[in-house]
């Protein structure tokens, strides 16, 4: 048994709350990390369709979880950004107002005007 002494009851309450928060499973929430607009679709027999995009907001990161949105409707969710290129170079991220080429793996149903939205899971603080 652990015995502790406190001069102020608030310190004891705070320590108990903090220990209880540590026992709970963490909660995660999905936040939007970037949005890119498809400007051109390039066909490749080796890689499938490649989306030529301009990043409208945030940052697009390779291996991030992505969804394709057409006219406000989600076409596909749970995709991964498998390839990300700027000109001829492979890159790990592309920021707002830059152009890039995005490969979504086996998902090829993309059109000019679609949006690619990337998300990430962030731990939500308790309390």
Structure confidence by residue, pLDDT tens digits, 36-60: 999 999 988 888 889 999 999 999 9
Q: Of 115 and 18, which is predicted with more confidence?
A: 115
For the chain, percent of residues with pLDDT exceeding 90: 51
In the chain, what are the domains? 29-121 (2.40.30.10)
Under the banding of pLDDT at 50, 70 and 90, the label for residue 91 is very high
Is the distance from CB of 47 to CB of 103 less than 8 angstroms? yes
Q: What's the rounded Cα separation, in Å, for the pair 59 and 17?
A: 36
Q: How many other β-carbons are positioned within 10 Å of the β-carbon of residue 52?
A: 16
Model pLDDT, residue 127: 57
Q: What's the rounded Cα separation, in Å, for the pair 120 and 70?
A: 20
66, with CB counted inside 10 A (0-12, 13-18, 19+), is: buried
Helices of type H across the chain? 9-23
Whole-model pTM? 0.74
Model pLDDT, residue 112: 93
User: CA neighbours within 13 Å on the CB side: how many for 93?
Assistant: 11
Which of 21-30, 86-95, 96-105 shows the lowest mean pLDDT across its residues? 21-30
Model pLDDT, residue 102: 93
Q: What's the rounded Cα separation, in Å, for the pair 115 and 94?
A: 15
Model pLDDT, residue 58: 93
């Amino acid at each position: 048994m652990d015995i502790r002494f406190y001069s102020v009851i608030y310190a004891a309450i705070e320590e108990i709350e903090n220990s209880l928060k540590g026992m709970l499973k963490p909660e995660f929430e999905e936040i939007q990390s970037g949005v890119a607009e498809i400007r051109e679709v390039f066909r490749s027999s080796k890689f499938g369709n490649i989306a030529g995009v301009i990043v409208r907001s945030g940052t697009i990161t390779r291996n991030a979880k992505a969804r394709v949105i057409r006219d406000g409707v989600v076409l596909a969710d749970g995709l991964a950004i498998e390839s990300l290129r700027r000109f001829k170079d492979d890159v790990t991220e592309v920021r707002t107002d830059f152009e890039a080429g995005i490969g979504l793996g086996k998902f090829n149903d993309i059109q000019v005007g679609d949006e690619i939205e990337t998300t990430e899971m962030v731990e939500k603080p308790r309390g």
